[in-house]
Amino acid sequence: MDPINVLVLADPATPQLAMLQTLPQTTIAVGDTPEAFVQTAPVADVILRWSADLAVFEQVWRMAPRVRWVHSCSAGLDGVLFAELAASPPPTNAIPVSIRVDAAQPKSDLHPIWRFFGADEPNYATMKNGRKLIGELGSLRPKDVYFRAHNLLTSGDGKPALKWGSTGAYDEDADGHPSYNWTILDGIFDTYLQNGVRPYVEIGFMPKALSTKPEPYQHHWTPQARYDEIFTGWAYPPRDYQKWGEIVFEWTRHCIEKYGRAEVESWYWEVWNEPNIGYWRGSSQEFLKLHDYAIAGVRRALPTARVGGADTAGSGGIQLEGYSHIKVYADNGYLSGNISHKPGYIGMPYGRPQLPACEINTVVAWVNQGSQNN
């Protein structure tokens, strides 16, 4: 087999890339700028985009005329499968496909698969074009469309920016006494509801007054910046979990008082966003604690609330390598809940069919018997 030339678009210090150095017949070039690939791009067979910006990828792509495959870190990095992919021939049109659509011939009902939409920037909803967009979404099926936005508890004055949003819902005085201001949040939810859209309430992110690392807090991201620059003080655990739970309780209670119990019972509530990647700068155990306090806060105000989470990225962040890792998820119920596809859990294996019943029963029985290291 001829050597395979791989360009890895990433910080050279990225530890996960070490496995690539062990692949046979593979020449690796790593860098996070186009200049790093001036010599190697012309003979590259594969581009692995791990963490580089889109602009860098586009420039390197133009420098690599013979590239056969592009691999993204979101597709996973398995040493065996990646090597097979890199060594395989490029796709061809060996199997012709012909598609004919007769738009004049009715076939059957089109069952809508859309219902949930979202954005990073919550304040966009109350802007001119944001209201227009929310109205168009609500018209698809009034009161049966949901919108989920980040940053609903993020501190700030509500001024919109890319990958940012704020509501200033929580603050503290010099003595640590909490104060709540629902004005901006009410404006956002009012816009949803007035246009036939219901909130999919994402409980996050961390108010500045509660963050264990409040500075820096607001980022100033642009499309040319590295994505991980957005993860600032809002992504950290709270200084006080009791106060965190109380924020969620007061917010839920306020929504019931303003919109009515029946209306709020029709909403969905979710704790945080993708805590298994940069959106959460604490440990797994800290997140589970944050999650428990938030769930308790919602249900203290509304026991019938539809609340769960967290929505995770990729594999869901569940590490099953080694007994110490799997034991954590066996004990807290996540392992059984995820593989059984129970409501409120992320179905595992992620993006694939549920495991056979016999395998699920074996795992659940092992958990119920104390999850022994056998």
Q: What is the CATH number of the domain that holds 150?
A: 3.20.20.80
Of 203-212, 242-251, 285-294, 355-364, which range is least confident?
355-364
Q: Residue 131: enclosing H or E segment and its boundaries?
A: helix 128-140
303 and 173 fall within a common domain: yes
Residues 6+ apart with CB under 8 A from 249: 297, 298, 300, 301
Q: Would you call 180 helix, strand, or coil by DSSP?
A: strand
Q: Please name which of 308, 353, 295 lies closest in space to residue 334, comparing C-alpha atoms.
A: 308
The count of structural domains within the chain is: 3
Q: Do both 302 and 324 map to the same domain?
A: no
Residue 107's pLDDT band, with cuts at 50, 70 and 90, is confident
Of residues 100 and 148, more confidently modeled: 148
What is the residue-averaged pLDDT of the chain? Answer: 86
pLDDT tens digits, one per residue of 3-22:
788 888 888 877 667 767 66
Q: Is 197 exposed, middle or buried (0-12, 13-18, 19+ CB in 10 A)?
A: buried
The DSSP code for 272 is: S
Q: Which residues contact 301 (CB under 8 A, 6 or more apart)?
A: 249, 252, 253, 256
> Is residue 102 situated within a structural domain?
no
Residues 327 and 305 in one domain: no
Same domain, 300 and 358: no
Measured CA to CA, the distance from residue 156 to residue 154 in angstroms comes to 7
The percentage of the chain sitting over the pLDDT mark of 70, rounded to a whole number, equals 85
DSSP state of 20: G
pLDDT tens figures, 21-62: 667 677 888 888 888 888 898 988 888 887 767 778 888 888
Q: Which two tokens stand for residue 45?
A: 């067979």
Residues 6 or more apart whose CB falls under 8 angstroms from that of 37 comprise: 7, 29, 31, 44, 60, 63, 64
Highest average pLDDT, of 24-28, 102-106, 115-119, 147-151, comes from 147-151
Residue 106 domain flag: no
Per-residue confidence band for 101, with pLDDT thresholds at 50, 70 and 90: confident
Which element (helix H / strand E) includes 287? helix 284-301
Task: Report if residue 107 sits inside a domain.
Answer: no
Task: Tell me which of 66, 87, 108 is where a domain ends.
Answer: 87
Q: What's the confidence (pLDDT) of residue 12?
A: 81
Residue 266 lies in a domain: yes
Which whole-number Å values give the CA distances from 237 to 4, 36, 70, 171, in the listed order? 44, 37, 36, 16
pLDDT of residue 166: 97
**338 and 224 in one domain?**
no
**Residue 265 to residue 267: CA distance in whole angstroms:** 6
**pLDDT at 199 > cutoff 90:** yes
226 inside domain: yes
**How would residue 316 be classed by pLDDT, with cut points 50, 70 and 90?**
low
Residue 87: pLDDT over 80: no
Say what the pLDDT of residue 334 is: 77
Q: Do the domain assignments include residue 110?
A: no
Residues across the chain: 374
CA 83 to chain centre: 28
Same domain, 284 and 144: yes
In a domain, 228, yes or no: yes
Give residue 313's pLDDT: 74
End-of-domain residue from the set 291, 313, 335? 313
Strand partners, 119: 149
Among 295, 313, 331, identify where a domain stops: 313
State whether 250 and 186 are in the same domain: yes
The Cα–Cα gap between 324 and 284 comes to: 13
| Choice among 61-65, 205-209, 265-269, 337-341 with the minimum mean pLDDT | 337-341
**Same-domain check for residues 131 and 270:** yes
Q: Give the range of the structural domain holding residue 294, as residue numbers without chain letter.
A: 116-313
User: Does residue 142 sit within a domain?
Assistant: yes
Among the listed residues 142, 143, 160, the one whose alpha carbon sits nearest the alpha carbon of residue 151: 160
Classify strands 178-180 and 170-172 as parallel, antiparallel or unpaired.
Answer: antiparallel
Cα(14)–Cα(27) distance, integer angstroms = 17
DSSP, residue by residue, 216-242? S-S----TTS-GGGG-SGGGSPBS-HH
Q: Per-residue pLDDT for 65 more than 80?
A: yes
> Does residue 222 share a domain with residue 156?
yes
Mean pLDDT of 354-361: 84
More confident residue, 46 or 352: 46
141 shares a domain with 53: no
Non-local CB neighbours of 53 within 8 Å, separated by 6+ positions? 223, 224, 225, 226, 227
Q: Are residues 12 and 78 in the same domain?
A: yes
Where residue 44 sits, what CATH number does that domain have? 3.40.50.2300
CA distances from 58 to 52, 55, 128, 225 (A): 10, 5, 33, 15
What tokens does 63 get?
Answer: 């420098």
Across 121-133, average pLDDT: 96
- Residue pair 116/141 in contact (Cβ under 8 Å)? The answer is no
Highest mean pLDDT among 70-79, 106-115, 145-154: 145-154
Phi-psi region of 38 (alpha: psi -120 to 50; beta: other; left: phi over 0): alpha
Q: Is the pTM of this model over 0.75?
A: no
Q: Are residues 284 and 218 in the same domain?
A: yes
